[in-house]
Amino acid sequence: MPELTRASELTDAFARGRAESRGLLIGYLPAGYPSVAGGIAALTAMVDGGVDVIEVGLAYSDPLMDGPTIQAAVDRALAGGVRTKDVLSTVEAVARTGVPTMVMSYWNPVDAYGVGRFAHDLAAAGGAGMITPDLIPEEASDWLAAADSAGLDRVFLVAPSSTDERISMTASHCRGFVYATAVMGVTGAREASSVRAPDLVRRVRAATDLPVGVGLGVSNGKQAAEVAAYADGVIVGAAFVRRLLDADSDLDGQRAVADLARELSAGVRAPRK
């Protein structure tokens, strides 16, 4: 499989994190919530608060892996008429901040848009790559070729239930980092981080030199510090979405996600034990 022909923004970001002896903070929001412009403003506020990598969600009507918090925001984005072109314009706007900006998407919308076209348009918007939670490498030949052609990173998921063989195979098809789901089940903030996550990260590191990002459940600075002690990246989605859902206005929501980003950023920068 061909290597990427340009330097990866994600690779550079993780290298900076290692040089600083800290994990990266990776933050998610769906494009189009509370509006396209409001979503861009919220994501920019997260960057200002210390988020190192941004995931822009592509709203989909059947998000099987998303919990109720993210589903609520996605439903409102779809009701507001968000389209794939709005996702790409969101990526373009956020990428101008200088942080690596990815798309997080189920496969059906990308397939419907056109795989090669999507890869080209995402790269043209300044996107760093894409996370595909419901696409497995065995069924991703079109995406692998399109991503390589466009110079995009591609991130697949592994879980505690994954065998060592599947972890090795999945990691071999990733570029940028490997996404380790810390708990089984749908996304959502939790009171405690998964006790299974450190072992999963160890198993991934036995299979690849790629950085490992851990997602599902982190919602505060203490949890972020716990995960950053053993992972290269701490992925936070539902907690940011919840701050927007609970806000009384767009401006209050932007302030709330920026405050959470500062708390989480302090956590990932805490001295590692």
- For the annotated catalytic residues, the residue numbers are 55, 66
Q: Report the SS3 class of residue 42.
A: helix
Give residue 220's identity as a one-letter amino acid code.
Answer: N
* CB contact at 8 A, 47 and 39: no
If we measure between CA atoms, which residue out of 43, 58, 53 comes closest to residue 107? 58
Q: Within a 10 A sphere around the Cβ of 242, how many other Cβ atoms?
A: 20
The structure tokens 């409001």 sit at: 38
The structure tokens 């925001």 sit at: 73
End-to-end CA gap in the chain: 38
